[in-house]
Amino acid sequence: MKRVVTAGLKACTTVGVATVVVFCGATAFAQAPDTVLVNGRILTVDAQFSTREALAIRDGKILAVGSSAEMRKLAGARSRVIDLQGRTVIPGLIDSHLHAIRAAETFATEVNWIGAPTLADALGRIRDAARTMKPGAWLIVAGGWNVQQFKENRRPTQAELVTAAPNNPVYVQLGYGWAILTPSALKALNISSDADVPAGGRLEKDAGGRPTGAISGGQGAIIALFDKLPKPTFDEQVDGTKKFFRELNRLGLTGVVDPGGNNLAPEDYQAVFKVWREGQMTVRVAYTLCGQTPGAEFAEIRNLVALMPQGFGDDMLRFNGLGERITAAMNNNPRPTDADKEQYYEIVKWAAQRGLSLTMHWNNDASVGQLLSIFERVNREVPIGGLRWSIAHLNDASPATLARMKALGVGWTVQDAMYFGGEGYVQQAGAEAARRVPPVNTGTKIGVPIGGGTDAHRVASYNPFTSLQWFLDGKTVGGVAIRGAEETPDRAAALRFYTLGSSWFSFDEKKRGSLEAGKLADLAVLSQDYMTAPLDQIHNTESLLTMVGGRIVYAAGPFQSLEVAR
């Protein structure tokens, strides 16, 4: 490119008008797209939610969108033209709250129950893993499933796990409240009585007083229990990270905002850092940091962030501030003490002074005022409006809360928690309250920035199409419709949450999240049309071709031959 320009200029000055034409021709050639997609149904997710036929890509960015004829005209001799044969293209999906770094680390060494329709199927995955993994390897299901997804509508028994994998220790976790272990797993962890179980947990007993192999307890107990399990080796973590990102690409995801969280220490970031150093990232990751030690969080965070300015990194891996468990005392605590709040205030005020973004986990509207009061106090001293702080979860956000968030410039990351937890929520809060959970249409009207996502992989599936279908039908995995029409977005709005909406949380809405000229060419060609597929089939959608920055990172079916050897 540089050489062409220099030669052209030189020719211009010495030879004159005739050469200018050559120069312009050379420039046009140099600017021809690398790739042109034609004959598609391209959902641009621009301001008008317009649909286009074709799109041209050059140097990782979208050069233009338009009709197939227009885009073909731009193509040069070396442009690759891909005929979409009428298929639907969406901007690459972005999960605004996915514990991707943690899920990735163990993806190659865990057993995955995501989407298993029956317990028999799930147990079959344990059986298969026992055959394919190293002899005697731990078989760990770290979450991502619930009882209602199984036709049998129940948890596994210890005997079933032993039958599935007689020669491996097996550990199966359900959310953050229950786990079951086989006898060899209990033995390996030296657990034989309640005294051996982390504080707050206990061994479950059957009617006859015999241990069932299960451990139940609070979140702290289950997190501590999980930390006792052997960790994958570093090479396994790197392998898992590449495989997990590819799995996300298969489902049309090209970006995540990682909120840090439980069971994630600084050393756990090393696998994704290695993949980034090697230039092998296929999902853009905006990551956050947590404090680790109760009471010592401020010192830890200051130390971690000392040489890490907000936004440090590049478009594949970028530091995005603090989250989602800033202090242990404020984590999942609806009744923090004044001291807890003061400690939290000191940290987030410091974060505001440093220009750091921040995301905070909060469950219920009833107690979120305590968090918002702190944010408002900080905002009076150091304006936070431009920092894109956010609150995750908050499924029952009231209009008053959403208005306070809007006034502060605080965004809301919304997950499909009710897909697994809807029945429980109805029992606890009643069917009427459940009709407005989560109130995304009210949030949109008030003007709160909203991102889509899942909170995978412990408490949810990472499948974005499961989440998109849930946005639209409000149904739990058990098939119970709990949300009313008033808070149900249409297909365009739901897709917007999962693309442009999510991109806001890492300051990327001008770079990605929609398919418009000048933006990064992150996109997915879908197996079915998201806009017209039967509602109850949306969860079956997959990508047939996923691009990140114009590079093909996943290709299947009719496009399989386009995949570059990995």
Q: How far is the CB of 360 from Zn ion (least distance, A)?
A: 9
Whose Cβ is closer to Zn ion: residue 123's or residue 290's?
A: 290
DSSP E strands in 197-299: the ranges are 201-205, 211-217, 253-258, 284-289
Q: How far is the CB of 175 from Zn ion (least distance, A)?
A: 12
Whose Cβ is closer to Zn ion: residue 239's or residue 324's?
A: 324
Q: By C-alpha distance, which of 274, 252, 267 is closest to 102?
A: 267
DSSP letter for each residue of 85-138: TT-EEEEPEEESS--HHHHHHTTTTB---TT-SSHHHHHHHHHHHHHHSPTT--
Contacts of 394 (CB under 8 A, 6+ apart): 362, 363, 364, 365, 368, 401, 412, 438
Q: How far is the CB of 269 from Zn ion (least distance, A)?
A: 18
Q: How far is the CB of 197 from Zn ion (least distance, A)?
A: 24
Start-to-end CA distance of the chain, whole Å, equals 28
Q: How far is the CB of 231 from Zn ion (least distance, A)?
A: 22
Whose Cβ is closer to Zn ion: residue 52's or residue 393's?
A: 393
Whose Cβ is closer to Zn ion: residue 422's or residue 453's?
A: 453
**What H or E segment, with its residue span, contains residue 359?**
strand 359-362
Whose Cβ is closer to Zn ion: residue 282's or residue 288's?
A: 288
* Cis upstream peptide for 99 (omega within 30°): no
CA distance 300 to 297: 5
Nearest residue to Zn ion by CB is 361
CA distance 211 to 127: 23
Q: How far is the CB of 421 from Zn ion (least distance, A)?
A: 13
Q: How far is the CB of 393 from Zn ion (least distance, A)?
A: 6
Q: How far is the CB of 254 from Zn ion (least distance, A)?
A: 22
Q: How far is the CB of 311 from Zn ion (least distance, A)?
A: 23
What are the φ/ψ torsions at residue 342 (nearest 5 degrees)?
-65, -45
State the maximum Cα–Cα separation within the chain, in Å, rounded to a whole number. Answer: 99
Q: How far is the CB of 182 from Zn ion (least distance, A)?
A: 29
* Cis upstream peptide for 438 (omega within 30°): yes
**What H or E segment, with its residue span, contains residue 180?**
strand 178-181
Pair of tokens at residue 167:
């020669």
Whose Cβ is closer to Zn ion: residue 392's or residue 493's?
A: 392
Whose Cβ is closer to Zn ion: residue 180's or residue 360's?
A: 360
CA distance 255 to 499: 9
- If phi over 0 gives left and psi between -120 and 50 gives alpha, with beta otherwise, what is residue 409? left
Whose Cβ is closer to Zn ion: residue 91's or residue 261's?
A: 261
Whose Cβ is closer to Zn ion: residue 454's or residue 514's?
A: 454
Whose Cβ is closer to Zn ion: residue 318's or residue 361's?
A: 361
Residues forming contacts to Zn ion in the complex (CB under 5 A) are 324, 361, 392
Residue 140 half-sphere exposure toward CB, CA atoms < 13 A: 21
Q: How far is the CB of 449 from Zn ion (least distance, A)?
A: 18
Please compute Rg for the chain using Cα positions.
Answer: 25
**Helix and strand totals (H; E) in the chain:** 20, 23
Whose Cβ is closer to Zn ion: residue 138's or residue 498's?
A: 498
| Contact assessment for residue 167 and residue 136, using Cβ atoms and an 8 Å cutoff | yes
